[in-house]
Structure 1
Amino acid sequence: MGPSKMVLVLVLVPLWPRVCSAPWTGLCPDMCRCDTKDEKDLTVNCVERGLSKVPANLSQFTTILDLSMNVVKELPERAFGQMCSLRELRLAGNRLQQIHSEAFSGLHTLTTLTLHDTGLKTVPSEALNELKNLQSLCLDANRLSAVPSLSFRGLSSLRLLRLEDNHLEQTPGGALAHVPRLQALSLGMNRLKVLSPRSFHRLTELLLLQLQHNQIHSLSPTCFYGLHQLQTLDLSFNRLHSFPSAFQLLTSLQRLNLQNNWINFIPENALRGNPSLKKLILLNNPLFVVGRISKLSKLPSLGFSEISQKNPEPFHQLSNYNTQESCETQDSFWVLSLLLFITLFLTAGILTRTILFKLKIK
């Protein structure tokens, strides 16, 4: 009988689907939840799991990593290992006290970074400069009191920047010079009081600018210089006393919200520089005098009804801002005037009848 032959059969089982079910170092296997579309598209959901650090040995095929609502305080060097496919990283609701300058090193495909409500007092500029392809950056609901001029110097691809609900007292003009392709900028709910000349002059592609819920009382006539493409401007809930002439620089403006300011007078031809305007909101302003504005008669409709603010339009849906075409203005003055006229008319009628009745008696 000839020598026996051994046949070795290798069964190759792909390892990628087991990334989330296999034990991670120091973590329970079911600590996070994973969803896969194919072998190169993996979403890892670790929301509100009590994590104090980034999980180790995450799959290199992870495209979306959500670490929101945990207790992560530090992002060390190369905190996300070899996750070369990561496109979206969410860190909202953590309490980041330290971010290493190379914490995001290796994340060459990252396009979205959410640092909402992480307790940041300064912009982690050195770490951000590693993200050459980043398009969306959320730094809202933090404790930023200033944005240094070099904060975004490596983010030339950035399209959306959220800085609302911080402690900013000035617009980050110097920092914005490094993100010329920005299309949406939110600076609402800060402490801005004045918009200085050319505050946004490098943002020639900006479509949306949100400045609501500040303390703005003064606008330089050239504060919007350079915003040739701006379509939506929100200055609601500020302290403007007059209708700013700065709007005349916004030749592409389609939607202007001035709700809840202190404007009592609109000068004649105030909108002559806004040929594309479709929607003007002047609700809850103490308007007493409205000059002869030819533009108002050309708007699709001029009404007095109030749009509900309970469901504001999503910040990121830029394409939806021009779907409604209307002009809304505050109507309390006109209503009061009408009521006063009716009251005087009825009073005069009553007095006349009383006099005639007495004359008949005599």
Structure 2
Amino acid sequence: MTDIPLGSGSSMLANLWSQQRVWLATALILAMTAVLDPTQGLESLQFTVDALVQTAPYLIASIALAAYAGASGADNLIARAFTGSPILMIAVAAAFGGLSPFCSCGVIPLIAALLAMGVPLSAVMAFWLASPVIDPAMFALTAGVLGWEFAIAKTLSAIGIGLLGGYATLTLTHSGALANPLREGVGNGGCGASSVRTPKPVAWAFWRDPARRQKFGREALKTALFLFKWLALAFVLESLMVAFVPAEWIITTVGSNGIGSIAIATLVGVPAYLNGYAALPLVSGLIEQGMAPGAGLAFLVAGGITSLPAAIAVWALARRPVFALYVAFALSGSLLSGLLFQLWLS
């Protein structure tokens, strides 16, 4: 009979949790919800499945592009395009993020690919701060519900916060901080990444090379598993927030008039995730009831930047100091955007 070392069971459980903690956490949350409230458990499961299905086309396209870039070697060209003047790259990243058609979910694989390619953290910070706030479809809907001034202000806020975060991150990087900004296995980061230092020829028709085909499959599977496990957790948490954070509570909290409501709306908007499209009519109703427009803008911008899919993506990719900076930029940038918009209107 083989002796089993004492403590081997606990070490196996610890190893399992370390490797699969995101999936296990998602399953545990769903199981606890189902036990405490069976109806909500089913609704949360259905919400998560529906959300994953809706975002699947964007994710599949992004995963395929990221895997193609790695297998063909095109990531060398993309990484090299982000080298040169950091000041210019941050401006381009913020503008692209503010005007790009990516949703907060669809942009996650692109962010992961940019970091793995060695794009500087400052440019990526500018992009991921600006991207979740606005896109062409959101701009059109915002203009229809809240007016053109509000839509333009939201777009300028997205770009402005991207610039703020990008240049602040660049300053911190130059001072020696954020030396190791990324979690293990995400990428080697920085301007001097290997993909930039040692560029190789691009094989656009990578499928002709068996080794590159295998690399495409590995990269696609690795990226897909990484994205879906974090998005599944994000959507489960989102379903619970939608169920247990009623709109009436938000109205009571941020529905007051005046500059003070801008600060409250910013603080409430950061943790309180609302679907960007669903939040527009809510904010419109609040403004009609007397809420300061600047508070409405701060709420939308703060909630957009720190939406669960976007925030969890940053948490999964970057170390805690970088995530703390991300939240700090969301708070300060949203507050400043709301104040400036209210000042301009008055």
* TM-score normalised by the chain length of structure 1: 0.19
**Higher normalized strand content (fraction of residues):** 1
TM-score in terms of structure 2 length: 0.20
User: Which structure would you say has the larger Rg?
Assistant: 1
More helix by share: 2
